Structure 1
Amino acid sequence: MAASAPHLVHGMGTTLEPPTWPAITHGEAAAALARFPAAGQLEALEWHSPRPFSAAARVRTTRGVFVLKRHHPAVRAPAVLAEEHAFIAHLAAGGIPVPEILLTDDGTSAITVGEWTYELHRQGAGLDLYRERLSWTPFFSVSHAHAAGASLARLHAASRGFLAPARAVQPLVASFTILPSTDPLAATEAYVAARPALAAFLERRDWRSAVARLFAELGQGVSDALAGCEEVWTHNDWHPSNLLWSADGQVETVFDFGLADRTCAVHDLATAIERTAIDWLELGQGRDATIGHPETARALLAGYATVLPLDRGKVEAVLRVLPLVHLEFALSEIDYFAGVVGDVAEASVAWEQYLLGHADWFLAPHGQAFLHATERGALG
């Protein structure tokens, strides 16, 4: 019998890599599922996710198909997952199609087994069309982008009334403390000081000057653009592989709320464009002038506006925030790689290529052209 292919996951580039976290085995899946009474008995592991920051598997049981997700406790402890699950439950009550979260034998939604944290979701309705696609890769069509924009607006409408505070300091969360600040460098100092592994990584770099330069060149008007925004919990990782699709190209299920936190609609819209309208994985490969897709950004905004109005001021705010919207999560990624994983090389990629590289693309003529083309098309 031929050996099965090794399990590989998405890395920071375009190639698949060995996983940081080992694939879920049949035995551990069975042990975890035993804690969720409604899950039934494990029959098969059908697929292992290539997502890099946790391990996940689609499992078939005597009671259906589920997604079992396993986390390192330094990334997600049960109490931390309970924050996400409360938001998901709120959205479900508001009519947003999200996967059902299974409860454990003691009525909680996440468990610790051995050294790991587990959560279990019922497989959502729809086609997983983007299952193998990397983050920062575009929609298959502008019609998908339009449908995703409308779905995001429905999520924002439903999120109102969820009054949980912002999440505590932890890695891999898209928090909202730097961009709204009238003193973003001081806010960055506070963000770094609260994360010892991030601080240790950055102390070998002239990071204060680098961040000050970005805000001097791209940050004018950002805090003003965010000042009047209603703070709500948002998804913060809106890309097509976090959506399940109908055969006619509509969004049937929204999932993966790992980055959810209290931000605002403008911030989340800017994040959605940043995730889907620019081929960031091609940055520095000789075609920087063509990696931006303003038609995708315009379609997202147009779809959003079919559900919630987008006036000139809000569109301008989104585009003002967009060049730096990735900054806080980039710092969170560095904290994860430098602290939880202990991978300085990947932390350096997050700093140099993600945090600095993405911002610098917007300063170049092609980045400015992308912003202008998006604005012209969105405003008619």
Structure 2
Amino acid sequence: MPAMDESRHPFALLTPDLVLDALATLGLMGDGRLLALNSYENRVYLAHLEPGTRLAEAHPALVLKFYRPGRWSAAQIAEEHAFAQELAAAEVPVVAPLAIDGQTLHAHGGFHFSVSPRRGGRAPEPGDLEALEWIGRFLARLHEVGARRRFTDRPAVDLAGYGHEPRDWLLAHGALPLEVEREWADASGEVLAWIGQHADWRAAAHPGVPPGRPITCLRLHADCHWGNILWTPTDQPGGGPHFVDLDDCRSGPAVQDLWMLLAGERAERQRQLGALLDGYEQARPFDRRELALIEPLRTLRLIHYSAWLARRWNDPAFPAAFPAFGTPDYWRGQVRLLRQQLEAMQEPPLVA
């Protein structure tokens, strides 16, 4: 791919004309209508095809995803696509990229991009126990496929990548106001030290660790929250949930794909977890030791998420969408959350 001008915003050159030109390089003729879809990390567009042109009969409209330059390598994106297609072949309901002329990953104008079929749907209601049981069954099927082989290029959900590296980046780049930097550094260091001593999945990402039946590490969706699940009416063919956006797929413990679907007070989360596992265990066994990883994983996500926002701050979409980020009040709130998480990690885990 041509080198990007790093002095400019990564998507500054991604104009509507470039999007349509990228489509045309695949022999797909857009009719000029483009709709930008909700995405912060990448840029995603709904493009309508000219009637009678290539693929237009089967797919009158297609979704084009332009990957953020410099985030994933071509090999890492290819692993995402291969995983999505493997899931689709196993009839796990995911939206996988289309293979056009034998390729799912394309390049134009300095960007990698993919083309996917349009799939509608709405986000399920958080806390819907029936929906959670259904989602649990599909997650088990996703994990059955995920356990068949390993990623070779994509990273893992682990203490180093989700905790230490983003914390070190934030402190090294002066991302925090001076009046709260030391307090946040102490709180984040304390929770990471606790996780390093107590979280038992560490061996899962390192097969050479001595035995003791480590928790299994498998290929995951890894960003499985309600916004990445769409629901279509169950009285229609293929109705029910389907998963979208495997952009963050990584290796890790199975519980990583469950815990973000839990919300509310402890009793509510307990019921929701029970419904998820009722569905999950209809298709695949679940290692109950992983329940002790829920709060450590939630804690790591807090640190990882703050670093993600800071790293993207030169993208105009981020200040507009997250105006409170970076203020002293934001970071004081993070300190409070990390202190609360230190207590939560020391409580008995949820049971189901």
Task: State the TM-score, normalized to the length of structure 1.
Answer: 0.66
Residue of 310, 323, 326 corresponding to 1:348: 326
User: 2:167, 2:188 within 8 Å by CA — same for their partners in 1?
Assistant: no
Query: d(CA) in 2 for partners of 1:27 and 1:163?
Result: 39
Query: d(CA) in 2 for partners of 1:346 and 1:70?
Result: 27
What residue is the counterpart of 1:29 in the other structure?
A: 19
What residue is the counterpart of 1:12 in the other structure?
A: none
Residue of 98, 104, 110 corresponding to 1:102: 98
2:171 is the alignment partner of 1:176: no
Query: d(CA) in 2 for partners of 1:241 and 1:277?
Result: 13
User: How far off its partner does 1:333 sit?
Assistant: 1.0
What residue is the counterpart of 1:264 in the other structure?
A: 253
2:274 is the alignment partner of 1:298: yes
SS in 1 for 2:227: helix
Change in Cα spacing, 1:69 to 1:60, as seen in structure 2 (3 Å) is same
User: How far off its partner does 1:22 sit?
Assistant: 7.6
- The amino acid across from 1:128 in the alignment is G
Q: 239-248 vs 219-228, which deviates more? A: 219-228
Residue of 154, 170, 187 corresponding to 1:167: 154
Q: 218-227 vs 82-91, which deviates more? A: 218-227
Query: d(CA) in 1 for partners of 2:134 and 2:252?
Result: 22
- The amino acid across from 1:239 in the alignment is H
- The amino acid across from 1:304 in the alignment is Y
User: 1:230, 1:264 within 8 Å by CA — same for their partners in 2?
Assistant: yes
Residue of 234, 244, 263 corresponding to 1:255: 244
Residue of 281, 289, 300 corresponding to 1:313: 289
User: 2:200, 2:215 within 8 Å by CA — same for their partners in 1?
Assistant: no
Change in Cα spacing, 1:120 to 1:90, as seen in structure 2 (3 Å) is same
Q: Which runs of 5+ in 2 are unaligned?
A: 1-9, 205-213
SS in 2 for 1:118: strand
Query: d(CA) in 1 for partners of 2:79 and 2:307?
Result: 18
Change in Cα spacing, 1:351 to 1:299, as seen in structure 2 (3 Å) is farther
What residue is the counterpart of 2:142 in the other structure?
A: 155
Residue of 36, 42, 66 corresponding to 1:54: 42
Query: d(CA) in 2 for partners of 1:104 and 1:164?
Result: 23
What residue is the counterpart of 2:189 in the other structure?
A: 212
Change in Cα spacing, 1:346 to 1:91, as seen in structure 2 (3 Å) is farther
Query: d(CA) in 1 for partners of 2:250 and 2:127?
Result: 28
SS in 2 for 1:310: coil
Aligned residues: 316
2:262 is the alignment partner of 1:277: yes
**Cα deviation digits, residues 126-162 of structure 1 (max 9, x gap):** x4212xx9xxxx6262211221122111101111223
Change in Cα spacing, 1:29 to 1:166, as seen in structure 2 (3 Å) is closer
Query: d(CA) in 2 for partners of 1:320 and 1:214?
Result: 11
**Cα deviation digits, residues 251-283 of structure 1 (max 9, x gap):** 4432201111121213x24xx32x33237xxxx
Change in Cα spacing, 1:216 to 1:192, as seen in structure 2 (3 Å) is closer
User: 1:145, 1:299 within 8 Å by CA — same for their partners in 2?
Assistant: yes
User: 2:127, 2:272 within 8 Å by CA — same for their partners in 1?
Assistant: no
Q: Which runs of 5+ in 1 are unaligned?
A: 1-19, 169-174, 280-288
User: How far off its partner does 1:348 sit?
Assistant: 2.9
User: 2:140, 2:284 within 8 Å by CA — same for their partners in 1?
Assistant: yes
User: How far off its partner does 1:234 sit?
Assistant: 0.6
- The amino acid across from 1:375 in the alignment is L
What residue is the counterpart of 1:223 in the other structure?
A: 200
User: 1:326, 1:355 within 8 Å by CA — same for their partners in 2?
Assistant: no
Residue of 58, 79, 82 corresponding to 1:86: 82
Query: d(CA) in 2 for partners of 1:72 and 1:179?
Result: 23
Query: d(CA) in 2 for partners of 1:44 and 1:353?
Result: 47
2:209 is the alignment partner of 1:232: no
- The amino acid across from 1:49 in the alignment is L
Residue of 41, 47, 54 corresponding to 2:29: 41
Task: State the TM-score, normalized to the length of structure 2.
Answer: 0.71
Query: d(CA) in 1 for partners of 2:284 and 2:333?
Result: 31
